[in-house]
A and B are shown apart, each in its own frame.
Chain A
């Protein structure tokens, strides 16, 4: 974990694994106003609050500041509603929320498997656990190999889900792509996450898990993330020719492809 030093206190470095009871982080940040300002570390695209190990030069600006500091990139959440309120970015100053029980924070996840993977992939990945759920953040460049290893060597034979998240406040690395994997043999569930930017593509995992076929198509449909090597990369839920990717944060909830609607449905608007 070369990047250990970077993460804020909120995400304890791997080196000192702590039980989930670890509450070093004041939770004030969570008490962001409803305006949706996202609290520092975790919220901005990294709910786990994990540093981005994959990109040594500049992980994510949002991660650097200490937990209580205002997030560098405020206003990520409101984008969903199409009403960005950048001003809300300051709420970190409200360290209140006294009534709230301390929220759990991600802790390092240690297991033989992780150790083995670490040995193999080194700094490219980081394994954490949150609420008893294990996940690993992986550098994009490692994606096909690590998934392959997970499938072949670690018996994660069931690809539960492939999905993504959009974090427009993160420059260059706007998207999280998440694989949820399960191993029948070990009865264990993990998530593999990576970050990619807009317009970038990512190797498809269909050769590893055929189940990922439609799931990846849906990710493409909803986020516009292309998967290289996918046998049939096209929209699945929305019609062919639709413009825009609805689950992106900059796509308003009432927004639609008016042109498509007018041409194909012969009505002024679908609303």
Chain B
């Protein structure tokens, strides 16, 4: 107990020989094989009884060296790889990458492609949030929402599958637009889905929002103030739940988000409950965007003029989008060859995960689970 809790990062991984009643410190290793760490996150917890004194994340178990691979692939060849980072929001990843390369190339996707991109990306945001909700609720012990969300997520995946043949790692977009025209009935499917899913979101809320246990488990847990969020670089719903009204779709519109009317849901307390509410509201906003996009889906080409062999001019570009988890940025350095000289992904999960320690200090072990869930991390993206 003499050790200041602030120097957490120097946490001694070795289990101490102290008897834990005296030292009041129990070092527990959570993961990488643990059902609530959403993959292969390993968290080393320092506990006083059940109270968390500090924790350290050990990551890298899924490290595949995406950035290195990028340097050895052409721009087009690398496109499918980005889907493997945040595999629950693959479309968003693809959108960010394609737009970054397009920016580098100086091309712009035609309006129809932009619209389809927005539709698919927002659908993807929905899947991501649904998956988050299901697993988060499961972590907190409510097992039913998982199946409800998966049932509805399935409908989106069906649309993806019909559109591009893949459900998860879609590789839906191409640099310069889309490879595939939308299939017949795409608009109808999407519209049907919108009418189908709106009441389902109410259903999730019915199960959880007013559930006393849910509220008790999430209110006041893992509080992160707006300042903390900004200092820690946390973005996405976590940031917005802390009261910072910032969404890249509004702040620095990309694709053609500026044409759509939607709101940025903002929380107040920055606790787990607010993050839950923000994400629920975001799902509804996504539906609004999709509705507008599909109503105004223009005719026209779906692919801009892009050279067969892409050699972006020498230069570097940083482009970021609002992925479901936060700001997803691509920093690409081109040396004029067909391959990126350096490609850096700014993964939202990775940066958001840094806040875990801050959010968990002084909470209980059970809250660590809730907080990991509420951060909505995907280890594929954290480790890349």
Contacts and interface: CB of A to CB of B under 8 A. Distances in A.
B40 interface: no
Given A48-B316, A161-B331, A34 B338 contact: yes
B252 interface: yes
A237 B22 CA distance: 34
A98 interface: no
Interface stretch (B146-154, B155-163, B230-238): B230-238
B261 to A, nearest CB: 20
B232 A210 contact: yes
Interface in B71-97: 71-72
B68 A246 contact: yes
Given A80-B341, A131-B317, A133-B318, A180 B346 contact: yes
Residue among B10, B320, B344 with the most chain A CB within 10 A?
Answer: B344
B335 A131 contact: no
Contacts of B106: 101, 103-104, 131
Contacts, number: 170
B67 A247 contact: yes
Interface string B27-53: 000000000000000000000000000
Contacts of B327: 160
Nearest to B60: A237
A43 B340 CA distance: 11
Interface stretch (B125-133, B213-221, B307-315): B307-315
A180 B329 contact: yes
Interface string B312-343: 11111110100000010101011111110110
A47 B335 contact: yes
A159 B333 contact: no
Interface in B296-316: 307, 311-316
B335 A36 contact: yes
B104 A131 contact: yes
Interface residues of B, number: 54
A41 B60 CA distance: 36
A214 B354 contact: yes
Interface in A71-120: 76-77, 80-81, 99-101, 103-106
A30 B314 CA distance: 6
Interface string B331-367: 1011111110110101000110110000000000000
Interface stretch (A184-192, A195-203, A261-269): A184-192
A42 interface: yes
A63 interface: no
A180 B318 contact: yes
Please list the 9 inter-chain residue pairs (A to B) with the smallest Cβ-Cβ separation, ordered nearest first. A211-B233, A103-B313, A232-B9, A42-B314, A237-B60, A30-B336, A43-B335, A47-B316, A80-B71
Given A161-B329, A231-B7, 11 more contacts: A34-B338, A38-B335, A47-B314, A99-B307, A160-B327, A160-B329, A163-B331, A165-B333, A209-B233, A237-B384, A247-B67
Interface of A: 27, 29-32, 34, 36-39, 41-44, 47-49, 76-77, 80-81, 99-101, 103-106, 130-131, 133, 157-161, 163, 165-166, 178, 180, 184, 187, 189, 191, 209-215, 218, 222, 231-232, 235-239, 246-247, 251, 253
7 contacts: A30-B336, A39-B314, A39-B335, A43-B335, A100-B307, A253-B68, A253-B69
Interface of B: 7, 9-10, 59-60, 63, 65, 67-69, 71-72, 103-104, 106, 230-234, 244, 246, 251-252, 307, 311-318, 320, 327, 329, 331, 333-339, 341-342, 344, 346, 350-351, 353-354, 383-384
